[in-house]
């Protein structure tokens, strides 16, 4: 089922695919003049925090986690980017190093666009400029909401919200009534929720016993998204 009108998905998720959608042909050709495509295997790193950017990355197919690593080597996932989204451009726009790391969560096809082509396209394309500003503004709002969520909501509510958001990302050729399987490790889910793996497993078991979801190996099948929405609003 669609959650439009019953859950404010835009408060928790941002989509940057609109940045490239229907760009004027001249702008698109300028941007992609020297692009290259690479297949990354599951868990392979695309870029690391602190490295200098040499270009931007477009997710042609797959899913990518953006994360930071603390002094103890523990990952904190900031966001999961989906097919059609752009990553790595913040560092180029700020003229700084990457503020976080990125790794694929499944085998993914990633398109690389050199820094020089990206900057030239921005300089010449008012359409691209406008879309980037809009995307950055939306991303800031989403991250602000996420900070509030971590500060004010329980693990149970945070997990419900993240399952709703991730479920949307796994909608591929969706037909009404079709179950959606979320393929994510419990470690990554715990990192995204900001808690210990044991807490995530405990709450998932609770949801499973309540008939809200089912599991098959590491896959999570959401059976009752309405109930997750209710929990997120408790």
Mean pLDDT of the chain: 90
Most distant CA pair in the chain, distance: 56
Task: Calculate mean pLDDT across residues 103-109.
Answer: 96
Kindly tell me the sign of the dihedral angle through the C-alpha atoms of 158, 159, 160, 162. positive
Q: Which has the closest alpha carbon to 11: 139, 142, 133, 138? A: 142
Higher pLDDT: 13 or 227? It is 227
Looking at residue 156, its pLDDT comes to 95
pLDDT digits (tens, 9 = 90+) for 31-41: 999 999 999 99
Instruction: Output the pLDDT for position 173.
Output: 64
pLDDT, tens digit, 9 for 90 and up, residues 48-92? 999 999 999 999 999 999 999 988 888 999 999 999 899 999 999
Determine the Cα–Cα distance for residues 73 and 200; give it in Å rounded to an integer. Answer: 20
Domains, the chain, with CATH or none = 9-149 (2.60.120.10), 153-232 (1.10.10.10)
Model confidence over 210-219: pLDDT tens digits?
999 999 988 9
Separation CA 157–CA 102 (nearest Å): 26
Q: Is residue 223 predicted with pLDDT exceeding 70?
A: yes
52 within 8 A of 88, measured Cβ to Cβ: no
Q: What is the pLDDT of residues 141-194, one digit of tens each?
A: 888 888 777 777 899 999 999 999 999 888 876 666 677 889 999 999 999 999
Tokens of 113: 């666009």
Structure tokens at 233: 């609003």
11-25, 114-128, 130-144, range with the lowest pLDDT: 11-25
* Residue 104 confidence (pLDDT): 97
Say whether pTM exceeds 0.75: yes
User: Which pLDDT belongs to residue 11?
Assistant: 79
């Amino acid at each position: 089922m669609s959650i439009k009108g019953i859950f404010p998905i835009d408060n928790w998720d941002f989509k940057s695919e609109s940045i490239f959608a229907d760009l004027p042909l001249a702008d698109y050709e300028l941007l992609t003049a020297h692009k290259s495509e690479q297949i990354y295997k599951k868990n392979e790193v695309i870029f690391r925090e602190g490295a200098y950017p040499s270009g931007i990355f477009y997710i042609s197919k797959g899913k990518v986690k953006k994360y930071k690593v603390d002094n103890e080597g523990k990952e904190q996932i900031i966001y999961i980017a989906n097919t059609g989204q752009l990553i790595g451009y913040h560092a180029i726009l700020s003229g700084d190093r990457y503020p976080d790391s990125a790794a694929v969560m499944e085998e993914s096809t990633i398109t690389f666009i050199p820094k020089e082509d990206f900057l030239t396209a921005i300089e010449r394309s008012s359409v691209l400029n406008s879309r980037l500003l809009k995307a950055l503004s939306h991303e800031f709002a989403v991250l602000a909401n996420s900070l509030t969520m971590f500060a004010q909501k329980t693990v149970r509510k945070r997990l419900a919200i993240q399952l709703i958001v991730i479920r949307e990302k796994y909608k591929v050729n969706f037909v009404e009534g079709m179950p959606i399987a979320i393929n994510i490790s419990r470690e990554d889910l715990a990192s995204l929720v900001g808690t210990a793996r044991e807490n995530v497993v405990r709450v998932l078991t609770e949801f499973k016993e309540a008939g809200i979801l089912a599991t098959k190996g590491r896959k999570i099948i959401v059976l009752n998204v309405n109930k997750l929405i209710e929990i997120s609003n408790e």
